[in-house]
Amino acid sequence: MRIAVIGGGPGGLYFAYLWKRRHPDAEIDLFEQNAAGATWGFGVVFSEQALEFLRADDPDTVDAITPRMESWKNITLNLRGESVEIDGVGFSSIGRLDLLGILQQRVRAAGVTPRYDTLIQSLDGLTGYDLIVAADGLNSLVRRSFESEFGASISHSTNKFAWYGTTKRFETLSQTFVATELGAFNAHHYRYSPGMSTFLVECDPATWQAYGFADKTIEQSQAICERVFAATLDGHPLVSNKSVWRNFPWIWNERWSLGNRVLIGDALHSAHFSIGSGTRLAIEDAIALVKALEAEGDIPAALACYQTERQPIVKKLVTAARTSADWYEKFPDHMKLNLMDFAYSYITRSGRIDDARLRAMSPAFMTRYEASKQRRGSQP
C-alpha cells in the first residue's frame, strides 16, 4: 500500500511509525511544512494513565517517552491568595518538542524518512496514493478543501488565551485565578521538564478589551501578563513562542473520510485544553485507523469502520470538553464563590465526576469540602 501522511505532529508521526512497523513493505511519504525542530507551545499534558493505553501494543514507545515525563498526583487551585489541593487527580507532562523528537526517531527507525520543510499547497499533486491521511492540524488543507463533503463545522470560544512558558517550576498542575481592576485572569500552569513549565494565560472578552490587548505587541502583552501573575511567577519571566492571543477553535466533522482521504487528530476534532487530551486523541485516532485498515479487506470499508468504532468515544470526550470550556467562559463569576465551593465547582465542571466518585478519587479534598459545608450550615 502507498500512503501519504500530511502533517508531522504526534498523530501523523505515530500513524506512519505504527503502520510501517507492522507493514514493512508499505511505502509511506510523510510531509510536514515546518522544520523538524519547529513547534509552537511548550508542554503537553496527559491524564494519570499517561501513555499506558499504548503499552499493550507498543511498550517500546511508552518506555522511550515515560522517562522524559514529569508526573504529579494532585491539582492545586489558587484564588484570592488561598490555595486548595485536590488529591487523586494525577497527570503527566512532557515537552512538545521532546515528544516530537522521540516519535521522529521511531519513525526513522521504522524506515520512514519524513519530508520536512515541505508545504502541500494543493491535493492535486498527491496522485498515485492508495490512502491520504490528513494529520495536518487545526488548519487542515484536506478538510478545508472539502469542508461541505466532510460536514465540517468550526466555531470559537469567546475567551482569549496566550500560551507561554516559564522557568518557574510548579510542583503540580495548577490553576491561578487573579482579579484586577480591569478584569479577571486565569493561568493554567504545570512543569513539563525539571526546569520549564507551561504557563497558559486566559481571560474573558471584557478583560481582554479593557486591557487593550488588540493593540498590544506580543512583548507588551507578555509584560502585562507578567505583572498580573507576578506573585505566581515569583520573579521568573514568561517565555514567548508565537504567544499571540487566540480564541480556542472547535472543530468537528460529521464524515471522517472522503474517497481515499481520512482525517485524524485536530484536523478532525478539537478538545479544549482544559481537559488536556488533544495529543492523546490524535495518537488514539492513529491507532484506531491502523486497526480498522488491518481488520477490513478494502480501504472504503476500513475508513467506514474507523468512524463507526472511534466516533462515539471521541464524541463523549469532546462533549465533556465543551462542558468544561463552558465553565471557563464564566470563570469570573465562579471566582465570587468561597474557596471550597469554587474548587468543587471546578472539579465537577465537565459532568463526569459526581460526589461518590469524588469521595473515592479525592478523599482528602472531599473531607475538607464537606466539613466546610457543615460548618457553614451550622452558622446562624
pLDDT in tens, 186-240: 999 999 999 999 999 999 999 999 999 999 999 999 999 999 999 999 999 999 9
- On the question of pLDDT at 271 being above 80, the answer is yes
Query: Domains in the chain, please, with CATH?
Result: 2-41+57-66+93-155+249-328 (3.50.50.60)
Q: What is the pLDDT of residue 195?
A: 94
Position 379 scores a pLDDT of: 56
Tell me phi and psi for residue 179, to 5 degrees: -100, 130
360 with 353: CB under 8 angstroms?
no
pLDDT (mean) for 84-90: 93
Least confident of 6-10, 31-35, 55-59, 368-372: 55-59
Other Cβ atoms within 10 Å of 234 Cβ, number: 10
Q: What is the pTM of this model?
A: 0.93
What whole-number distance in Å separates Cα of residue 94 and Cα of residue 333? Answer: 32
Burial class (CB in 10 A: 0-12, 13-18, 19+), 214: exposed
Per-residue model confidence (pLDDT) at position 36:
86
Rounded Cα gap, residues 134 and 111, in angstroms: 20
pLDDT digits (tens, 9 = 90+) for 279-334: 999 999 999 999 999 999 899 999 999 999 999 999 999 999 999 999 999 999 99
Work out the pLDDT band at 262, boundaries 50, 70, 90.
Answer: very high
Report the distance separating Cα 326 and Cα 331, nearest Å. 9
Question: Is the pLDDT at 13 greater than 90, yes or no?
Answer: yes
Expressed in angstroms, the distance from the first to the final Cα of the chain is 75
Give the sheet arrangement for strand 27-31, strand by strand: 27-31, 2-6, 131-134, 261-263, 257-258
